[in-house]
Amino acid sequence: MLLKPSLAPAFRVCFRSVPFLFLLGFLLALGGFLFARESKPEAANSAQLEEEPTIAGSGGIENHFQPYFGHDEDIHLDKTPPRLIMGLDLNRMGWTYNCMECHTHVEDIRYHREQKFEHENINLEHGNNRYCLNCHHPDNRNAFVDYDGSEIAEPNVTLLCAKCHGPKYRDWKAGVHGRKNGYWDLSQGIQYKLHCIQCHDPHSPAFKPMKPLPPPLYPSRAPAPKH
């Protein structure tokens, strides 16, 4: 904690430049790695996911992206999900921020408690779920970790929540927790379902308070309201 203000930037620059040189030097090798990664996710644990909806297009160039939902003719309705998905494949200040650029060099900290050098913006407030590696895969930071240590590919992040929130996941699958958009009658159109992380920030999942939209006018002749 004491180190934080002075040393953090220096460390960050160091970490950023190392992978950059690495990248210049081994451009071909890295390109090959990225290619391999792109084609891999499905294979990882396809068995139990078959019918699960995934978050399409995850890991875009922009930090904030939004999977498509809703219908064009409904522009008068604001269906924006409460939270924007970040994804794992990020760009920060013009640099690529691929998790593995650093994490091939950084030692894993199993019972990691506070970030001193990197990820200071992440403040984990997830009840008793206090360790980063309960969710993030230790060897592949571009994926999440299941019970048995196998990978949960990023687009299937809902299964990560499912591993600890069984009953909520069951409700979600039944369409009772979370929101559906589009068509209730599947024979007439497509239905969209918001994913857990479109409402809950995985690092601080309590639903955030919001400003209410304006109330109806208080009738002018009525006695003053009591609150």
Partner 1 sequence: MPSPDDKPVKTIEERIRPVSRRTFLKGSAASIVGMSGLVAALQPLLKLEKEDITLDQLLQRHYKEMTPAQLDKVMKRLQEKCEREYGVSASIQDLKPQDGVGFAYALNLTRCVGCRKCAHACLAENNQSREYDDDISMSYIRVLELQKGSINLETSNQYYDSESVPRKDKYYMPVQCHQCRESPCTKACPVNATWQEPDGVVTVDYDWCIGCRYCMAACPYDARRFNWENPKLEKRQINLDQGYLSNRLRPKGVVEKCTFCLHRTRAGKYPACMEVCPTGARVFGNILDPNSEINYILHNKRVYILKEEVGTNPRFYYFFDT
Q: Identify which of 4, 201, 12, 202 has the alpha carbon closest to the alpha carbon of residue 114.
A: 4
128 contacts which partner out of ligand HEC, partner 1, none, CB within 5 to 8 A by kind?
ligand HEC
Neighbours of 101 (CB within 10 A): 19
Under the binding rule (CB under 6 A), the answer on residue 133 touching ligand HEC is yes
H or E, element range at 31: helix 27-39
Site string for ligand HEC, 173-212 (x = CB under 6 A): ----xxx--------------x-xxxxx-xx-xxx-----
Which residue lies nearest ligand HEC, judged by its C-beta?
127
Compute how many residues bind ligand HEC; rule: CB under 6 A: 57
Site string for ligand HEC, 4-33 (x = CB under 6 A): -----------xx-----------------
Residue 29, SS3 per DSSP: helix
158 contacts which partner out of partner 1, ligand HEC, none, CB within 5 to 8 A by kind?
ligand HEC
40 contacts which partner out of ligand HEC, partner 1, none, CB within 5 to 8 A by kind?
none
Contact assessment for residue 8 and residue 116, using Cβ atoms and an 8 Å cutoff: yes
Measured from the CB atom, the residue of 147 and 218 that comes closer to partner 1 is 218
Under the binding rule (CB under 6 A), the answer on residue 49 touching ligand HEC is no
Measured from the CB atom, the residue of 60 and 81 that comes closer to partner 1 is 81
Strand-pair partners of 214: none
Distance of CA 17 to the CA centre of its chain: 26
Q: Identify which of 121, 98, 137, 116 has the alpha carbon closest to the alpha carbon of residue 19.
A: 98
* Separation between Cα atoms, residue 25 and residue 54, nearest integer Å: 35
